Amino acid sequence: MPGTLTDIINYVIQTALGVVGLDYARVPEMLRIGAAMLIACGAMLGYVAVVALFFGWAERRVAGRIQARQGPNIVGPFGLLQLIADAIKILVKEDIIPQTAHRFLFRLAPILVFMGAFAPFVVLPFSETLVVSNLSLGVYYALSFAALEVVGVIMAGWASNNKWSLYGGMRLAAQMMSYEIPMGLAVLTVAVLSGHLNLRTIVLDQQGYWIFSWNVFRGFPWAFLAMFVFYLAGLAGSKRTPFDLPEAESEIVAGYHTEYSGMRFVIFYLSEYATMYVVSALTAVLFLGGWHGPIPHVLAWDGQVHWEAGPVLSALIGMVNMIGKSFFLMFVMLWFRWTYPRVRVDQIVYLCMKVLVPLGIICLMGASAWALVW
Amino acid sequence: MVQSLKTDEILVNMGPQHPSTHGVLRCLLKTDGEWVREVWPYIGYLHRCKEKIAEKVSYIQFMPYTDRLDYLASANNNLGWAMAVERLTSIEVPERAVWLRVLAAELNRIASHLLSYGTFGMEAGAFTPFFYGFRERETIVSIFDQLCGARLTYHYARIGGVMRDLSPETAKAIRRFLDEMDRRWVEYNTLLSDNEIFVRRTANVGVIPADLAIAYGLTGPVLRGSGVAHDIRKAAPYACYPKLDFKVCVGEGLKGTVGDCWDRYWVRMLEIRESVKICRQILDGLPEGPYQAKVPRILKVLANEAYVRTEAPRGELGFYIISDGTDKPWRCRIRAPSFCNLSILNRIARNCLVADVIMILGSIDVVMGEVDR
């Protein structure tokens, strides 16, 4: 049985070429791996675009519902094609770079931001088999790349040569200093509980009795607390309300992307949704049992009913579970955004440093003690 | 030896094109990182020579211009101007017209405070209050549409009366709205007033002590937020206010210090409820009779002067008219509450964060049409 997504892709290519009568095994191994990785990454890129587009639409619909109005509902069924229309509009927009901006960094910034938002997708497991790259340091990789996004944002703020942009960039710098630490502590709590940094293994560990084997309940109360720490820190990381200080419209106009327009602005926009998805998916993977459903899809009752899903079906079910959990957590983010005001810059530092960090340390110490005892 | 990093204060221009400077106010901020050391408001971007225009048009013709002073509270401005001219000419206004004017003014006060609620929430970073506030304001605007045919610049009060009588259908619509407002008011507080983040953003921020507020000549909710129970409707009653039962709401420092942003905001919220009460009483006790006195086409007044002050949603609105006996005022001076209230910005927005400046500005709730006139 194939192990990961790249193996599946290789298998598919091999079979396809075999039908035509070519032997795929004769191709050098490096090439085969490279091709499979490229295809897998392409698929993930497509997935990111779909998620971002879908949530661009969902955000407006949810906002509409919360604000007692309709939201986009004219273009296509339920307004689903609204985003396509917007994408076309944005594509034909003039790309403006301010005369006084640092042209090179101004162009580089959105790329870095998108890279930081997209890179963690390759280690997110969708099911036991559907992982692009089964890195043994998956969590570490995802968190490091998420930090890259901050560099891009600060770069954008600086390169724009606009005081408001600079404020946005510096705000995120202050924000990152605060949220990265509790985020790391929360992740460590899970790492201590499960003994792995590989996302796939962490999820595999959570298989068992319905929802009670999920980390959030298995490691109760430490992992339970850690989940909130992680989610809040992640919320700050994805620059969403109530932590949307770097782009606070009412204060610093549009923050770091004040001077961005057209496609470059959209890249920031897409990255925000991509980061939201990464945070949600990581929360699901680390705490909420990843691809395991609330009802295990391997059923064994009284030894009478025994049914095991095949590899394809279990991959599908896992995908549905995983995406469902991630989307639900993203929906919670939208819900926050359209309900809460924004915190102040000193308050977010206070919250992260004086509330979340001690909480994270407590979680980590508690989890370590548990790990020692059992 | 490591040289210490050199930091500098920078000047940032906030406005006239800025999402939360209420139109075209321009503030110059002297900032040290996120800290704002000083704020200088620069005004005049919406100056339309209102006072000079008043010298060039007749008393009757100036009424529509008053709509555009504080364009969120046209009915209140109309009321002030009408009363000032009537005092000069000693025109007797029918009782019913007086009550109808006050009804319009109080409905407009609700609308104005609702908008303030929405924008204040928006400035705090919450979008939804804005839509909620606008939803109910829309109902009021539609009621005005029925009442006088306009949705923003009402021109409802006329010299010697009002332009149109209140129809039974409109009265019913107002009653329906007032009942709905009672329910919505609770919803607003759940959404914003009691929200922990919102309270932390506004409580103990931009505190104006009572003596400072009086010294700066602040009026309206900004003054009452500091705990001073001064309301022209009670202090110098006019129109039919002596016959109505309502409270003067003051800030009590429920969430922080007396006179902070939250108190000013809360005074507005309480005033919405008081205005709802007033509107109910007016609908119940509306006297019968004509709604317009006989007024000559060309209004000639004796050489005289008059100062009339009324309580507009943003504070004391005064019209000072000097007449030289012709059909036009010789000089008209408008005491705009927003203008006086804005003067305190430089004093209280010192050594606070950029986000606080926005909240202070929002809690003062200026309308630039009135500041610049």
Q: Where are the domains of chain A?
A: 55-373
Contacts of A344 in chain B (CB under 8 A): 200-201, 353, 355-356
- Alpha carbon of A210 to those of A215, A315, B303: distances in Å? 12, 18, 90
Among B12, B13, B197, the residue to mutate for chain A (most A Cβ within 10 A): B197
Distance from CA of B99 to the nearest CA of A (A): 34
Query: Which pLDDT tens digit goes with each residue over B252-261?
Result: 888 888 888 9
How many Å is the Cα radius of gyration of chain A? 22
Contacts of A244 in chain B (CB under 8 A): 125
Tell me: ipTM over 0.85: no
Residue B264 CB burial class (10 angstroms; 0-12, 13-18, ≥19): buried
Distance from CA of A95 to the nearest CA of B (A): 22
Confirm or reject contact between A248 and chain B (CB < 8 A): yes
Alpha-carbon span B311 to B76, nearest angstrom: 8
Token pair in block for residue A289: 């049992």
CB contact under 8 A, A341 and B12: no
Confirm or reject contact between A241 and chain B (CB < 8 A): yes
- The pLDDT of residue A357 is 92
* Cβ under 8 Å to A: B residues 128-147: 128, 131-132, 135
Confirm or reject contact between A362 and chain B (CB < 8 A): no
Would you say A77 and A349 are in contact if contact means Cβ atoms under 8 Å apart? no
B191 secondary structure, DSSP code: I
- The pLDDT of residue B178 is 92
- Roughly what angle, to the nearest 10 degrees, separates helices A82-91 and A29-66? 110
Q: Which residue of chain B is at minimal alpha-carbon distance from A168?
A: B34
CB contact under 8 A, A248 and B355: yes
Query: Given pLDDT bands bounded at 50, 70 and 90, which one contains residue A305?
Result: very low
Contacts of A241 in chain B (CB under 8 A): 125-126
A198 has pLDDT over 60: yes
- The pLDDT of residue B16 is 84
B6 has pLDDT over 50: yes
CB contact under 8 A, A339 and B18: no
Residue pointed to by tokens 């782009």: A247
CB contact under 8 A, A241 and B19: no
Q: Among B131, B195, B354, whose Cβ lies nearest the Cβ of A252? A: B354
In terms of DSSP bridges, do strands B304-312 and B157-158 run parallel, antiparallel, or are they unpaired? unpaired
- Alpha carbon of A201 to those of A123, A196, A363, B190, B311: distances in Å? 12, 7, 21, 44, 69
Confirm or reject contact between A297 and chain B (CB < 8 A): no
B299 has pLDDT over 50: yes
- The pLDDT of residue B15 is 76
CB contact under 8 A, B121 and A341: yes
- The pLDDT of residue A306 is 47
B95 has pLDDT over 50: yes
In terms of DSSP bridges, do strands B35-42 and B352-353 run parallel, antiparallel, or are they unpaired? antiparallel
B347 has pLDDT over 60: yes
B149 has pLDDT over 80: yes
Class of domain B10-372: mainly alpha
Would you say B177 and B195 are in contact if contact means Cβ atoms under 8 Å apart? no
* Cβ under 8 Å to A: B residues 20-79: 20, 33-34
Continuous H helices in B149-209: 168-188, 196-202
Q: Among A163, A340, A345, whose Cβ lies nearest the Cβ of B34? A: A345
- The pLDDT of residue A301 is 47
Least confident interval from A139-148, A155-164, A294-303, B345-354: A294-303
Q: Among B19, B121, B355, whose Cβ lies nearest the Cβ of A345? A: B355
Q: Which residues pair with B162 in a beta bridge?
A: B157
Alpha-carbon span B361 to A197, nearest angstrom: 49
- The pLDDT of residue B271 is 92
- The pLDDT of residue A38 is 82
Would you say B292 and B86 are in contact if contact means Cβ atoms under 8 Å apart? no
Q: For residue B183, which amino acid is it? A: R
DSSP, collapsed to helix, strand or coil, labels residue B121 as: helix
Q: What is the mean pLDDT of residues A316-342?
A: 88
Domains of chain B, residue spans: 10-372
DSSP, collapsed to helix, strand or coil, labels residue B49 as: coil
Token pair in block for residue B312: 């507009």
Alpha-carbon span A81 to A92, nearest angstrom: 17
Confirm or reject contact between A252 and chain B (CB < 8 A): yes
List of residues 6+ apart from B202 with CB closer than 8 A:
B124, B255, B256, B260, B261, B262, B265, B359, B363
Check whether the bond before A246 is cis (ω within 30° of 0). no
- The pLDDT of residue B88 is 86
Would you say B368 and B24 are in contact if contact means Cβ atoms under 8 Å apart? yes
Contacts of B34 in chain A (CB under 8 A): 167, 170-171, 345-346
A281 has pLDDT over 60: yes
In terms of DSSP bridges, do strands B10-14 and A305-308 run parallel, antiparallel, or are they unpaired? unpaired
Q: What is the mean pLDDT of residues B69-82?
A: 90
**Which of the listed ranges A14-28, A121-135, A214-228, A359-373 does the model predict with the highest average pLDDT?**
A359-373
Confirm or reject contact between A344 and chain B (CB < 8 A): yes
Query: Given pLDDT bands bounded at 50, 70 and 90, which one contains residue B109?
Result: very high
List of residues 6+ apart from A284 with CB closer than 8 A:
A290, A322, A325, A326, A329
Alpha-carbon span A268 to A119, nearest angstrom: 15
A297 has pLDDT over 60: no
Contacts of B123 in chain A (CB under 8 A): 250
